[in-house]
Amino acid sequence: MLSIQTTDLTKTFGHLTAVNRLNLEVKSGEIFGLVGPDASGKTTTLRMLCGILPPDKGEAKVADCDIRKEAERLKERVGYLPQRFGLYGDLSVLENIHFYADLYRVPKRKRKERIKRLLQFANLEPFEKRKAQDLSGGMKQKLGLICALIHTPQILLLDEPTTGVDPLSRRDFWIILYDLLKEGVTILFSTSYMDEAERCNRLGFLHQGELMVADTPSAVKERIGGKILQLRVENLHHAMKVLEKEKAFRSVVLSGDKIHLLVDDPKEGEKVIGDRLREREIKIVDLMVVNPSLEDAFVSMVRGRNEDGRGVREEGGETRDERGQG
């Protein structure tokens, strides 16, 4: 069963196509990640799906609601947490929650138990009287999540919810999301963090407003083809500049303190690396074949799409052309 289904969903702003013919399916009870860099269309997609922004073309059904014709009914079934959630700093945690409960017309007789459960759920019960402006970044995000959940939505739409949040708070946030999955909530969230994308049941790569692929993280990495050589050197950035010029590598990605290079033939790739770095007197610390990361897969797809100009092959064998813009 599908909680979200879009058909050729499109949004333009003047001459800019922010989302181009998006065909997306999110299954009920799963967590689906929209992954892509800034200006790839993630926020615009989420705003259309929650009924805030009308599409220019195409159709979408979210929680059995037509986003064009049933926007008000849709808002009762969807919780939306934007990048900048509208918390009121001079109101307490509890006052903010009651404010959003009023907006969603949650009956007062149902609030007490629901609010108590959500505060416990997010570990915010000890801070219910603290003003929102005095909360940490991670606590503000948890409060925003409670406000988005106060009306018990079927679907939760989250727009880069952990951006700027410390690692410990990010971990706590994900524990909450997994608990929501157990309760049957469908979650669609956007992120630019590849480690978060790994946690999803399925994910979709967005680039210049177009969906390049939608599949499980493991299946996405398998699509890469070729092999990944992981390189450690003494002069990392100098080595990057040298190797990026080589046509023998399908992609060159900086991964922490290492360089990942996508090659068709590992032995040939190792030879090219050795020859080029010796010429520049750059010492190789370590070089080995490793499993591809999601970042490797994304960079490879974008590069292949830009080079052949024919788009990236999607599930079902269809090919998208390159008419999307940033």
pTM for the model stands at: 0.87
Which of these CATH numbers, 3.40.47.10, 3.30.70.100, 1.10.460.10, 3.30.70.60, describes 225-291? 3.30.70.100
Q: What is the CATH number of domain 2-219?
A: 3.40.50.300
For residue 235, the one-letter residue type is: N
Same topology, domains 2-219 and 225-291? Answer is: no
pLDDT averages per 10-residue partition of the chain, 326 residues:
97 96 97 94 96 96 95 92 89 96 92 93 94 93 94 95 86 91 95 92 96 96 92 94 92 92 95 95 96 91 69 34 33
For residue 280, the one-letter residue type is: R
pLDDT in tens, 258-275: 999 999 999 999 999 999
Q: Where are the chain's structural domains?
A: 2-219, 225-291
For residues 13 and 181, what is the distance between their CA atoms, to the nearest angstrom?
A: 35
For residues 228 and 139, what is the distance between their CA atoms, to the nearest angstrom?
A: 39
| DSSP H helical ranges for the chain | 42-49, 71-77, 93-103, 108-121, 137-149, 167-182, 194-197, 217-222, 236-243, 266-279, 294-308
